[in-house]
Chains A and B, each alone.
Chain A
Amino acid sequence: IQSNLSRAIFCKMLYQRFIEVGRVCYIRIGDHTGKICTVVDLVDQKHLLVDGPTSGVPRCVLRLNQVSLTDLKIDIPRGCKSKKVRSELTKEDINAKFLATSLSKKAEGKKSKALLGDFGRFKLRVSKTTLNRK
């Protein structure tokens, strides 16, 4: 958790995304891989209380390494109820904003690449080599 002063410094310097109440995160490991959630509270140095009422994530505790921070943030009081989280998320239309992020697009790309069959992988390889040769 960063204080406002250090945040003002860091925002201009190194870190842009902070682990804070209201931060929208992308779950990359675990049961709810691929979904987004919002930080509702911090349990300890390594755990977050997280909720994703609009994305199908139940209120649960996640480890920091299971999660990837996004640029998106909503304004919610610490430990607030799911109802409040849901209303803020829909007000900011976080779902649509997340789909516009590069993280979401990359995840989509990974998914469609995995679905390529053997022929699809061959065609991809050939088109890549022809493109690189030019």
Chain B
Amino acid sequence: MEDVEKKLSKDKVDKYDRQLRLWGAHGQAALENAHICLLNATATGTEILKNLVLPGIGRFTIIDGAKVSEEDLGNNFFVSQPDIGRSRAEVTSELLREMNEWVQGTHIAQDPNELIANQLSSFSQYTLVIATNLPTSSLLPLSEFLYSNHIPLVVSRAYGFVGYLRNVVPEHCIFETKPDNPLDDLRLTNPFPSLATYCGTWDLRQKSEGGNLDSHLHSHIPYIVILYQSLIEYRKNNPTFNPTPKTEAEKAEFIKIVTRHSTGEDKNFEEATDAARTHIYPGYRLPDDLTDVLNDDKASASSTPTSNYWIIAQAMKQYVDEEGKTVPVKGSVPDMTADTNSYVSLTEIYYQKSRQDIAKVLGYVRKYEKQANRAEGSVTDEEVERACKSVRDWKVVRYRSIKEEYETPDKDSLEMSVDVGENGPWYVALRAVDRFYEKEKRYPGDVEENVEGDLAKMVEIGKALEEELLRVDEESGEQKRVPDLEKVLREMIRVGGVELHNIGAVLGGVGAQEVIKLLTKQWVPMSNTFIFNGMNCTTNTYVF
């Protein structure tokens, strides 16, 4: 864990302790440098913002033309009774700001639709925009503008028991995806010189076999040493076998070698047998996501990098090409049964190798930095070091724009999403609600008198959507349909446009977490559409 105490004030370290253990000082800095814009201070919108103000984003701006109404008091925590009639943007920004004295918050008491129509360029000042309850006629131009300016957009809505969230950003580049079970890179199938030298000095034989280690030290030989020597012997004995055991017979042969000097009860030899599965048999291979990044046009030596990420990627690509298709060693060793001296020695060996590797990468970084006419050191040593340590976890995600989603629907995804048990029908239902709203400027079923007539209109819209989003079945020649669409549309009518606090609060948590991942560039954001079914309490994500 990086030394957060050196980088943050004591007050912050104390208050933010529980979250710093997740994203570190550099993650916190990313949050504190962000200026978030919220469009429409609805229950959902304020709940998302609440979960960003608490961990300490730098600044927010709320844009909302509405006045606080009695209805807001029933689902929005950030308004209070004396505020009825005041600007909702102003009231919610006050009550949100009040939760964290280190967060700056302002408001613009104006209808977001107007701002989007007349001052679209003003949105370029934000790091990220959250849009709730925006009609399609505003959402499309806003998302196009943000997309072309590489500003992430998170769209969300709570409609009755259904919740919706969509991430939109052309390109999201991650070094630290932090997978649950990261693979240690022990380099046992293609060892570097200092590792080979160290492992080669050991005599694995028990004392009774003529070895020089007493039983305690023998049972504490690190499995790295055992596996290294076993692989050498395996390769020497069987030049016709695969260089790493692949078939069952080869694996059995290998394990025989591994356990030859074990007394039968030694933990370290057991660990070696287990570790063979992950550190010997697969051989050395670069992860697919990493290879994709390095093969990307933007990582080629001649390209002009658009960000620090791509400068580092260019540097890494050169490193990989020059170092026999290997990446920098991580520099740490997983815990294993070992005596302290050997464990510490091994740790030191991997650590020193990682320092050498990082130094090489840094050299290339400076080269590409210069080539791109960037100031030397604009890519910091710390950033490069972090990127090298997590090199096996790199990933770049690209999201389709809303325009692409609407104009060229991904019919494969859509057809899968309306299968039995899936929540895709709710996506279609929400699209129908949006269409209805565009036409009628109100929500379907808003008042009792409209319920019947609106159902007929929604069914018609639903049919048209089916034809847009789903294909004609090749065999039957019939239009594919959304199962139970009418049932789902009836529920939308029942809702009559209301927003329930609890559904907004679920989206508040989910949305804030997505924003945090997008800002800190740690972990992996959701791709790209999230549907929450608050009736049967299930969720799905789809790429639309």
Q: Do A and B bind each other?
A: no
